[in-house]
Amino acid sequence: MSTAYPIHLSSAKPAVNGWKASAAVYPGDQSATIYLEADEAENLRKIQRAGRQLDGLSIHSVALSGSDWDQERQWAFARGYMDTLSKNTIDWAAHDAAAVEHLQQLLDTTVWARELVNLPPNAIYPESLAERVIEKLTAVGQNNIHCRVIKGDELLKEGWTGIHTVGRASIKPPLMLIVDYNPTGQADAPTQAVLVGKGITFDSGGYSIKSSEGMVSMKCDMAGAATVAGALALAIQQGLNERVQLVLCCAENLIDGHAYKLGDIITYKNGMTVEIVNTDAEGRLVLADGLQYAGETGAPLIIDAATLTGAAQVAVGNEYNALFSVDDQQANRALALAAETNELLWRLPLQQWHKKNCPSPFADTANSRPQKGGGTGGASNAAGFLLNFAPRNGEGWLHFDIAGAYHASANGLNPAGATALGIRTISRLLRSQ
């Protein structure tokens, strides 16, 4: 017999002493009840808050009871209930095996991605990140997964100068991880999509060094890599039957005598030259390599994810991710799928002329503007920099600046640390072409 604490949903007016309308959940001796309202969006937030509250009460095993628990409500509860370090368990309310399997796959993948981001930087560095991603994707994709690691000076031999430049000061060598998922059985099958992830496993800011308080959570700067890897893992588990590649651009952005400096100029594989005016604008430098690789595959859909700018977080807060694209059809598809999966996503401005918004008198472009935060429109200007490297002038390209990827401290909706926000949306994008 299960000893899990039952959680009920009710649309009835509560008849309990001490209940407040603002309360997310009413916990009793034998079970707890969440009282629903008319607005379903608010219900989902309330259910997520209830999960946080019950975790805070050290209730470590729950059973979601009753017929009112649809998939989105169950997932909202799980998002709040699964704390950073806890091993809480949930008995799902789904009434068929397929629904339970779907929710458990989503939970397991999300927990894996969050743990990857939350691990300390002495445990997660470029090679260990690549190893963990290879292990996870091989477990779910088995013989359909083929991996390649390009590391250290091999990056220069193959033309991936951005990743090498950013990571060369660390004793942990930078690398590009390429994962090819091909379930078709045909070696020459076309690649339908490429996922590109920013894998900066620690970001000191380089010579544009961050403050101590600004640096303390910079283990999360590889959350883009964890997000796209998690999205691919989830898509595979839920039936992805097309060829998709994953490219992770991995480095530690540190300082020593080999570190890149302000005023340096990088020449990329496509011949574009970039002047460094801010070594803390390093994510776009590594993603430029990943986008060029993606272009070489000919894939019609390219998605990148990165904790790229503080400006995006200023614009949309830390409960949303920001979306950039010059492809209206793909952007609208992403927004629609995000709405279906209840992942908050907001489109910010990007036009072709944003490519020229970081001018340099010495190179084709600079990697930022020499102003705090990159100046006004910093998130759009960063996306504009990437647009220089996206194939087909940005057709088929989506850029997720994942402002909601990490919370330095807990709040009423989320535990401290990674959120994995964006995994469901990107996974759906792969499976709905």
Identify whether 100 is part of a domain.
Answer: no
Across the strands, what pairs with 177?
149, 248
- 225-252 tens-digit pLDDT: 999 999 999 999 999 999 999 999 999 9
Residue at which a domain ends, from 46, 61, 95: 95
Quote the CA–CA distance of 65 and 205 in Å, as a whole number: 48
pLDDT > 70? residue 140: yes
pLDDT mean over 269-287: 98
Chain centre distance of CA 88: 23
- 116-128 tens-digit pLDDT: 999 999 999 999 9
Residue 265 carries which side chain, given as an amino acid letter?
A: I
- 212-225 tens-digit pLDDT: 999 999 999 999 99
Quote the CA–CA distance of 406 and 403 in Å, as a whole number: 8
Question: Is residue 172 within 8 Å of residue 225, measured between CB atoms?
Answer: no
Question: Is residue 286 within 8 Å of residue 177, measured between CB atoms?
Answer: no
Identify whether 101 is part of a domain.
Answer: no
Q: What is the secondary structure of 189-235 as a DSSP string? A: PPP-EEEEEEEEEEE--TTSPPPHHHHTTGGGGGHHHHHHHHHHHHH
Which residue has tokens 């397929």? 98
61 and 199 part of one domain: no
Note if 148 is an active site residue: no
88 and 61 part of one domain: yes
Q: What's residue 244's pLDDT?
A: 98
Chain centre distance of CA 135: 19
Query: Which parts of 97-174 are beta strand (E)?
Result: 145-151
Q: What is each CA distance from 131 to 128, 159, 176, 222, 309, in whole angstroms?
A: 5, 23, 12, 14, 27
Quote the CA–CA distance of 309 and 286 in Å, as a whole number: 14
Q: Give the pairing type, strands 345-347 and 365-366.
A: unpaired
Residue at which a domain ends, from 48, 64, 95: 95
For 196, the token pair is 């590109």
Quote the CA–CA distance of 32 and 425 in Å, as a whole number: 31
Identify whether 402 is part of a domain.
Answer: yes
354 and 316 part of one domain: yes
- 367-421 tens-digit pLDDT: 999 887 778 999 999 999 999 999 999 999 999 999 999 999 999 999 999 999 9
Question: Is residue 338 within 8 Å of residue 345, measured between CB atoms?
Answer: yes
Q: What percent of the chain has pLDDT over 90?
A: 90
For 367, the token pair is 């990697």
pLDDT > 80? residue 43: yes
Quote the CA–CA distance of 292 and 295 in Å, as a whole number: 5
Question: Is residue 348 within 8 Å of residue 379, measured between CB atoms?
Answer: yes
370 and 232 part of one domain: yes
Of the CA atoms within 13 Å of residue 321, those in its CB half-sphere come to 33
Phi, psi of 344 (to 5 degrees): -70, 125
54 and 151 part of one domain: no
151 and 86 part of one domain: no
Q: What is the CATH number of the domain that holds 200?
A: 3.40.630.10
Q: What's residue 94's pLDDT?
A: 79
Q: What's residue 14's pLDDT?
A: 73
Identify whether 205 is part of a domain.
Answer: yes
Q: Tell me what the pLDDT averaged over the chain comes to.
A: 95
- 14-38 tens-digit pLDDT: 776 666 767 889 888 899 999 998 9
Question: Is residue 254 within 8 Å of residue 206, measured between CB atoms?
Answer: yes
187 and 228 part of one domain: yes
Phi, psi of 267 (to 5 degrees): -110, 120
253 and 292 part of one domain: yes
Quote the CA–CA distance of 258 and 134 in Å, as a whole number: 29
Identify whether 72 is part of a domain.
Answer: yes
Across the strands, what pairs with 253?
203
Note if 284 is an active site residue: yes
Domain extent for 74: 5-95
Q: What's residue 1's pLDDT?
A: 39
74 and 154 part of one domain: no
Q: What is the CATH number of the domain that holds 68?
A: 3.40.220.10
First to last CA, the chain: 44
pLDDT > 80? residue 86: no
Q: What is the Rg, in whole angstroms, of the alpha carbon atoms belonging to the chain?
A: 22
pLDDT > 60? residue 188: yes
268 and 335 part of one domain: yes
With cut-offs at 50, 70 and 90, classify the pLDDT of residue 3.
confident
139 and 243 part of one domain: yes
Phi, psi of 64 (to 5 degrees): -80, 110
Domain count, the chain: 2
Q: What's residue 64's pLDDT?
A: 97
For 170, the token pair is 């660390």
72 and 191 part of one domain: no
Exactly one of 52, 172, 284, 431 is catalytic; name it: 284
Q: What's residue 9's pLDDT?
A: 95
Residue at which a domain ends, from 51, 69, 95: 95
Identify whether 60 is part of a domain.
Answer: yes
Identify whether 166 is part of a domain.
Answer: yes
Question: Is residue 181 within 8 Å of residue 192, measured between CB atoms?
Answer: no
Identify whether 103 is part of a domain.
Answer: no
